[in-house]
């Protein structure tokens, strides 16, 4: 199929794109046939996003040729791309918070569509593809996972013949991801070409029939992922040996560091999820994983644990046996708690501020960066440099603005900032979301090492593979309730999936049902 | 096809610093057009407005006298604006500072002590602080918008001053004029340049500018202010209390405005009048923005705006133009500044939606 360019739906030849100081794409060629599901693989900064933005008309290539169904085309804008039949689901959502789902989708259309027809079509598509959506909800009330559904449905409504998906499954349950794959396979069987970007190598092996691997802006390999292993794919990506997270031996878990007792909290947000009777404990030296689909109370639980939301009773949350429920984030930090928040930009970091300042943001109580109310600029810069070095953050230096880092690099910086503070208790939300395989392995290893060194680690994640890889015990949050925790090694993916669907009783134990 | 605004991919740091200069240039051009339309020789009118006021040493000293309150208030407002706390009521806090400082001067009438001035300063600061604390309380407790409450309190303050000088504090020997008695020498700021009204308020202003700069660039408080202003969620994550910062910024900006009010009545005015300010508290809002919310920028902006006060007065005397000209120039300056600010963040496009959309550089 690659030999016959005339039959190809999309053929890219020698695409080059240079940004000041960086060659993002260096003579990249790629051919996609009709009905093909093709993976685009590469580490952060390998040039994947640049390439698909060129295809989608967001960026213009410096040189090279693009053929669409055999015809040379210049895609000048996303609107033109959509007219050609190219749809794209971005990793970073482009939704307006204050508008409803239907209004946001209407904005994506280049022609005017009556709202009633649109609502009906949203209903059809979301039912057809199993992507539940309420068209009347305001986007700011939606979870990350639901927002992604809006993006996917918006794309599917335009009947694309090439669908570009940038990390679409990172916020779905295994069952939901499977349903999405069915959708994609169904689309492919109808002749739609899918260009699929993901860091989840296992799902690429399950879904894609061809893969193009980018490294440093160049195509370094093309392969059939079904005949490769996840490990071999990862090594093509990073061009070297992949370090797999090493679990420490079954050390005796230490004393209880973090305890939550029957915590119930009304959500401050009218559409938020109230926390209902949540109890958990994390011991020194272990990692407790909390799985769950987005929008089931994770942000509310995280805010209660970090102190951003105060609990009604002080003894709902104990640190080393001391009640801290009424203490704010600063006082809890002083007691050894560090937190990796959900949002990297705007919460975990201030985009306009430098890495030095962003290092200081959560570490101001430590490392001598604050004396007599004055910032110690040299210590701040040194701390940021330490993070950059220890966690291989790709950036010119501590004076760079946080907003200019790619998502994965920024995540490495945030994780490094929290871990280098030597926390007694680390609470991490989605530690490797949207981070490439090499960096994700490094982050997971850092979490394991931290626990081995005696810290209590709580990881809230939607990535089950990750939780199975690193956590000692696993609990699942669903509609604000938390299941009882179970040893990870005695838990199957199917059981976790059932718990994620809320199949647990008052005591938090799993309700076994007959397989339908 | 209507023009549209499209966000630019990045904001040039150089342009951020250049826009105030561009705005001044545009204001001058508009001034030329306006003078020409009014039938004046634009060159002579602009000379009268912008150059002649500072062509003598006395003129320069008057410029500093006018710039002093603008800079002091502007520093306080800039701190608040950085934290998205919109204190629009500096005029009222200034007035309360004048009332409290002046009240102490009147109460200590006849006391010859160097302690009178510090007592007045403390009273002025506390008065302004109290007037700033009211909107803070209302915002923190009842989520009442500080823009409205601080603005409304301005009218309360000016009416209170009017009542006092028409009533209880009226000069007993003043032939029923609505003014207080003249302050004694011990209640007047020492003049530092003979034959002028330039007092020690000017060097103190420089110290306040320096302190403001230190707070914003090096202090933990300034860091918290910047984080709250730029990313409220990050401030909450870091454990910076937004409520405490609302209290702090409103109290500090109120206190500084109060100090400026006390300086005004114990300096250039020397007694309490029904009106003690030609709108310094409102004009300082322009000063703060023109100075890019940076203390050093505020200092330069205060000099420029002070010039518009002097120029307006001189244009009234020499060209028989209405004093409203001052307001027109200040308004044009703010208009052009806001306009250029928009244009460095957005570009104007005609026709269909273009190709260049700024998207974050994803992984």
Buried residues in A328-347 as b, exposed as e (16+ CB within 10 A)? bbeebbeebbbbbbbbbbbb
Compare CB distances from A434 to B355, B357, B363 and report the shortest one's residue: B363
- Are B355 and A77 within 8 A, CB to CB? yes
CA A151, CA A101: separation in Å to the nearest integer? Answer: 10
Cα-based distances in Å from B146 to B128, B173, B229: 15, 41, 15
Compare CB distances from A329 to B226, B231, B238 and report the shortest one's residue: B238
| Bridging pattern class, strands A256-265 and A317-319 | antiparallel
Q: Which helix (H) or strand (E) holds B338?
A: helix B324-345
Which residue(s) pair with A196 in the sheet?
A39, A165
pLDDT of residue A438: 76
B23 and B336 Cβ atoms separated by less than 8 Å: yes
**Hey, CA dihedral for B160, B161, B165, B168, is it positive or negative?**
positive
Q: Is the pLDDT of residue B359 over 60?
A: no
CA A122, CA A119: separation in Å to the nearest integer? Answer: 5
> Which residue out of B221, B239, B293 would a mutagenesis test of the A interface target, given it has the greatest number of A Cβ atoms within 10 Å?
B239
Say which residue, B360 or B149, is predicted with more confidence: B149
Chain B (241-280) residues lying within 8 Å, Cβ to Cβ, of chain A: 241
Q: Which CATH number is A5-238 given?
A: 3.40.50.300
CA B102, CA B262: separation in Å to the nearest integer? Answer: 7
Angle of CA points A180, B361, A24, to nearest 5°: 100
Which residue(s) pair with A223 in the sheet?
A211
Backbone phi, psi, residue A193, to 5° = -90, 135
Backbone phi, psi, residue B355, to 5° = -85, -30
CA A471, CA A475: separation in Å to the nearest integer? Answer: 10
Compare CB distances from B362 to A333, A346, A407 and report the shortest one's residue: A407
- Nearest partner of A25 among A1, A6, A49, A56, judged by Cα: A49
pLDDT of residue B352: 53
B1 touches chain A (CB under 8 A): no
**Out of A80-84, B118-122, B222-226, which region has the weakest mean confidence (pLDDT)?**
A80-84
- For B333-358, the pLDDT digits (tens) are 889 988 888 888 888 877 654 444 43
- Give the minimum alpha-carbon distance from A117 to chain B in angstroms, rounded to a whole number: 25
Report residue A71 as tokens.
């015809």
B363 touches chain A (CB under 8 A): yes
pLDDT of residue B363: 34
Per-residue pLDDT of chain A (516 residues; tens, 9 = 90+): 444 445 789 999 999 988 766 788 999 999 999 999 999 988 767 888 889 989 999 888 999 999 999 899 989 888 899 889 999 887 667 788 888 998 888 887 777 778 888 888 888 888 877 777 888 888 887 766 677 788 888 888 888 899 998 877 766 667 677 878 888 888 898 889 999 987 677 888 889 999 999 888 899 989 999 998 888 888 888 777 766 666 655 556 688 999 999 999 987 776 678 899 999 999 999 999 999 877 788 999 999 999 999 999 999 999 999 999 999 999 999 999 999 998 888 999 999 999 999 999 999 987 689 998 999 999 999 999 999 999 888 888 899 999 888 778 899 999 999 999 999 999 999 998 767 777 888 899 999 999 999 999 999 998 788 899 899 999 999 888 999 999 998 888 878 877 887 778 877 787 765 543
ipTM, 2 dp? 0.82
Nearest chain A residue to B10 by CA: give it.
Answer: A404
**Residue B360 maps to a domain:** no
- Are A60 and B362 within 8 A, CB to CB? no
Q: Is the pLDDT of residue B256 over 90?
A: yes
Cα-based distances in Å from A210 to A41, A162, A435: 11, 15, 22
Instruction: State the DSSP code for A40.
Output: E
pLDDT of residue A439: 80
Which residue(s) pair with A476 in the sheet?
A291
Architecture of domain A256-500: 3-Layer(aba) Sandwich (3.40)
Q: DSSP for A181-211, please give it.
A: HHHHHHHHHTT-EEEEE-S-HHHHHHH-SEE
Give the number of A-B residue pairs with CB atoms closer than 8 Å: 106
- Nearest partner of A331 among B239, B23, B285, B36, judged by Cα: B239
Range of the structural domain that residue B204 is part of: 67-300
Compare CB distances from A92 to B230, B239, B360 and report the shortest one's residue: B360
pLDDT of residue A66: 92
Report residue B333 as tokens.
């300056």
Residue B14: HSE in the Cβ half-sphere, 13 Å Cα cutoff: 0
Would you kindly state where each structural domain of chain A is located, as residue ranges?
Answer: 5-238, 256-500
B227 touches chain A (CB under 8 A): yes
**Out of A20-29, A485-494, B88-97, B243-252, which region has the weakest mean confidence (pLDDT)?**
A20-29
CA A441, CA B210: separation in Å to the nearest integer? Answer: 48
**Taking the mean position of all CA atoms in its chain, how far away is CA A119?**
29
Work out the end-to-end distance of chain A between its first and last CA atoms, rounded to an integer number of angstroms.
40
**Residue B281 maps to a domain:** yes
- Are A306 and B237 within 8 A, CB to CB? yes
**Residue B216 maps to a domain:** yes
Say which residue, B317 or B100, is predicted with more confidence: B100
Q: DSSP for A112-137, please give it.
A: ---HHHHHHHHHHHHHHTT----TTS
Buried residues in B11-36 as b, exposed as e (16+ CB within 10 A)? eeeeeeeebbebbbebbbebbeebbe
Tally the domains of chain B.
1
- For A84-137, the pLDDT digits (tens) are 999 988 766 778 888 899 888 888 777 777 888 888 888 888 887 777 788 888
Compare CB distances from A76 to B241, B355, B359 and report the shortest one's residue: B355
Residue B169 pLDDT level (bands cut at 50, 70, 90): very high
pLDDT of residue B139: 96
- Nearest partner of A305 among A291, A292, A316, A294, judged by Cα: A316
- Are B237 and A328 within 8 A, CB to CB? no
Backbone phi, psi, residue A393, to 5° = -75, 125
């Amino acid at each position: 199929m690659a030999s016959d360019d005339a039959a190809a739906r999309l053929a890219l030849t020698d695409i080059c794109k240079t940004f000041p100081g960086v060659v993002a794409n260096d003579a990249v060629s790629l051919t996609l046939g009709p009905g093909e599901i093709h993976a685009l693989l590469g580490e952060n900064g390998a040039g994947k996003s640049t390439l698909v933005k060129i295809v989608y008309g967001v960026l213009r290539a410096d040189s090279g040729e693009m053929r669409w169904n055999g015809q040379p085309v210049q895609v000048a804008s996303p609107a033109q791309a959509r007219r050609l039949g190219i749809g794209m689901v971005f990793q970073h959502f482009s939704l307006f918070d204050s508008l409803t789902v239907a209004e946001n989708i209407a904005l994506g259309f280049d022609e005017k569509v009556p709202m009633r027809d649109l609502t009906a079509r949203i209903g059809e598509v979301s039912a057809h593809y199993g992507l539940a959506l309420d068209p009347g909800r305001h986007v700011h009330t939606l979870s990350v996972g639901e927002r992604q559904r809006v993006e996917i449905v918006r794309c599917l409504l335009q009947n694309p013949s090439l669908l570009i998906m940038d990390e679409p499954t990172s916020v779905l349950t295994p069952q939901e991801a499977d349903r999405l794959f069915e959708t994609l396979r169904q689309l492919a069987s109808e002749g739609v070409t899918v260009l699929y970007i993901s860091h989840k190598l296992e799902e690429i092996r399950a879904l894609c029939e061809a893969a193009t691997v980018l490294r440093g802006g160049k195509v370094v390999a093309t392969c059939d992922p079904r005949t490769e292993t996840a490990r071999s794919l990862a090594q093509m990506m990073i061009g070297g040996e992949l370090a797999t997270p090493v679990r420490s031996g079954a050390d005796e878990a230490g004393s209880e560091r973090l305890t939550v007792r029957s915590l119930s909290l009304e959500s401050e947000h009218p559409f938020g999820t109230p926390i209902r009777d949540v109890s958990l404990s994390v011991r020194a030296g272990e990692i407790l994983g909390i799985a769950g689909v987005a929008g089931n109370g994770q942000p509310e639980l995280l805010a209660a644990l970090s102190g951003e939301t105060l609990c009604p009773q002080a003894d709902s949350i104990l640190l080393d046996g001391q009640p801290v429920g009424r203490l704010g984030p600063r006082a809890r930090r002083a007691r050894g708690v560090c937190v990796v928040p959900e949002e990297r930009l705007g919460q975990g970091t201030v985009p306009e501020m430098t890495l030095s300042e962003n290092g200081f943001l959560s570490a101001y109580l430590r490392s001598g960066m604050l004396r007599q109310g004055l910032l110690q600029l040299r210590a701040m810069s040194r701390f940021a440099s330490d993070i950059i070095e220890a966690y291989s953050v790709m950036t010119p230096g501590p004076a760079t603005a946080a907003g200019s880092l790619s998502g994965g690099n920024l995540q490495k910086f945030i994780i490094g900032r929290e871990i280098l503070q030597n926390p007694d208790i680390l609470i991490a939300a989605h530690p490797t979301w949207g981070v490439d395989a090499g960096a994700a392995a490094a982050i997971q290893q850092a979490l394991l090492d931290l626990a081995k060194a005696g810290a209590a680690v709580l990881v809230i994640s939607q990535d089950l593979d990750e939780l199975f890889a690193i956590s000692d015990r696993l609990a699942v949050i669903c509609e604000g309730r938390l299941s009882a925790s179970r040893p990870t090694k005695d838990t199957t993916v199917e059981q976790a999936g059932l718990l994620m669907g809320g199949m647990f009783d008052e005591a938090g134990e799993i309700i076994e049902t007959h397989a339908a | 096809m209507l023009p549209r605004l499209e966000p630019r991919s990045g904001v040039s740091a150089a342009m951020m610093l250049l826009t105030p200069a561009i705005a001044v240039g545009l204001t001058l051009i508009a001034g030329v057009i306006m003078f020409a339309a009014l039938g004046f020789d634009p060159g002579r009118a602009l000379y009268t407005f912008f150059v002649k006021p500072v062509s003598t040493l006395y003129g320069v000293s008057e410029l500093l006298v006018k710039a002093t309150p603008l800079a002091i208030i502007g520093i306080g407002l800039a701190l608040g604006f950085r934290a998205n706390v919109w204190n629009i009521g500096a005029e009222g806090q200034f007035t309360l500072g004048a009332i409290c400082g002046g009240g102490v001067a009147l109460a200590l009438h006849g006391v010859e002590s160097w302690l009178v001035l510090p007592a007045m300063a403390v009273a002025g600061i506390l008065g302004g602080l109290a007037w700033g604390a009211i909107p803070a309380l209302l915002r923190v407790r009842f989520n009442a918008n500080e823009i409205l409450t601080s603005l409304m309190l301005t009218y309360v303050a000016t009416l209170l001053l009017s009542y006092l000088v028409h009533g209880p504090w009226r000069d007993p020997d003043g032939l029923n004029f609505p003014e207080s008695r003249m302050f004694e020498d011990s209640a007047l700021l020492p003049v530092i340049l003979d034959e002028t009204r330039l007092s020690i308020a000017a060097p103190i202003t420089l110290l306040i500018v320096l302190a403001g700069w230190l707070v914003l660039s090096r202090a933990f408080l300034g860091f918290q202010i910047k984080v709250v202003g730029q990313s409220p969620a990050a401030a909450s994550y870091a454990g910076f209390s937004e409520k405490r910062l609302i209290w702090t910024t409103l109290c500090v900006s109120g206190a500084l405005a109060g100090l400026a009010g006390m300086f005004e009545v114990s300096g250039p005015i020397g007694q309490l009048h029904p009106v003690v300010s030609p709108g310094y508290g409102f004009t300082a809002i322009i000063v703060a923005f023109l100075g890019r919310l940076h203390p050093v920028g505020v200092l330069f902006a205060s000099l420029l705006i002070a010039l518009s006060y002097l120029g307006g007065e001189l244009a009234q005397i020499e060209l028989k133009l209405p004093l409203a000209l001052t307001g027109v120039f200040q308004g044009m300056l703010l208009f052009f500044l806001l306009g250029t600010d928009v244009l460095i963040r957005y570009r104007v496009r005609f026709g269909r939606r273009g190709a260049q959309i700024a998207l974050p550089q994803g992984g």
